[in-house]
């Protein structure tokens, strides 16, 4: 059972539809017990870092997410679902994240000609071989919408980077976790290949 975690923030239906197009059913749930029973967990999200963490906490979803990761269940984080995995985010002041991955989330510091948020299609550059990207072409384009990016302490977890006025981390892989700053559910063929690979793990 693939469960998309509903904590009141995120493009839940579009993520669910992407799984349907991949040939696998995914359910949307805000029930901690359903998340605990999942075989695979998807954490999407949009909005402010601290609001996402607060919503997860108030919904009693933090521990089910931690348990899924600790039990080595396949875990897919999308956009804010990547960022909240880290220890700290600096959006609207410094706020604690879930602390699952060492590192922090910082705002872009870019030359004036680059608009913030970074919005639109951009290329990913692979830093290591990742099973979920196996069917995705080299230097594929994905869709982004974000003003902040992650800074992992351990560079070995960096799966891809992207260039937008500077190189930033656009996805990470650590054991059973794959999390990306881009939106595979909005990224047409390349995104669907990633979703399908995750669905069929």
Query: CB neighbours (10 Å) of residue 93?
Result: 8
> Catalytic one among 90, 146, 185, 200?
185
Confirm whether 50 is a catalytic residue. Answer: no
Confirm whether 183 is a catalytic residue. Answer: yes
* End-to-end Cα distance, the chain: 12
> Catalytic one among 79, 95, 149, 173?
79
Chain centroid offset of residue 96 CA: 17
Listed in order, strand segments (DSSP E) in 17-133 are: 26-29, 40-43, 75-78, 86-89, 95-96, 101-107, 118-123, 125-126
What are the tokens at 136? 């995705």
So which residues are the catalytic ones?
Answer: 79, 183, 185
């Amino acid at each position: 059972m693939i469960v998309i975690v509903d904590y009141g923030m995120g493009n839940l239906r579009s993520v669910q539809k992407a799984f349907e197009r991949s040939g696998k059913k995914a359910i949307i749930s805000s029930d901690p017990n359903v998340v605990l029973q999942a075989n695979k967990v998807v954490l999407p999200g949009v909005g402010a870092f601290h609001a996402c963490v607060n919503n997860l906490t108030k919904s009693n979803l933090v521990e089910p997410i931690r348990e899924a990761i600790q039990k080595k269940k396949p875990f897919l984080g999308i956009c804010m679902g990547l960022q909240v995995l880290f220890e700290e985010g600096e959006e609207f002041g410094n706020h604690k994240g879930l602390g699952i991955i060492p590192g922090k989330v910082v705002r872009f510091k870019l030359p004036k000609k680059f608009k913030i948020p970074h919005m639109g299609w951009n290329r990913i550059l692979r830093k290591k071989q990742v099973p979920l990207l196996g069917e995705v072409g080299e230097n594929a384009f994905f869709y982004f919408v974000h003003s902040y990016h992650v800074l992992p302490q351990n560079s070995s977890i960096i799966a891809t980077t992207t260039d937008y006025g500077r190189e930033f981390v656009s996805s990470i892989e650590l054991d059973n976790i794959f999390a990306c700053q881009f939106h595979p559910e909005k990224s047409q063929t390349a995104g669907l290949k990633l979703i399908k690979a995750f669905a069929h793990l």
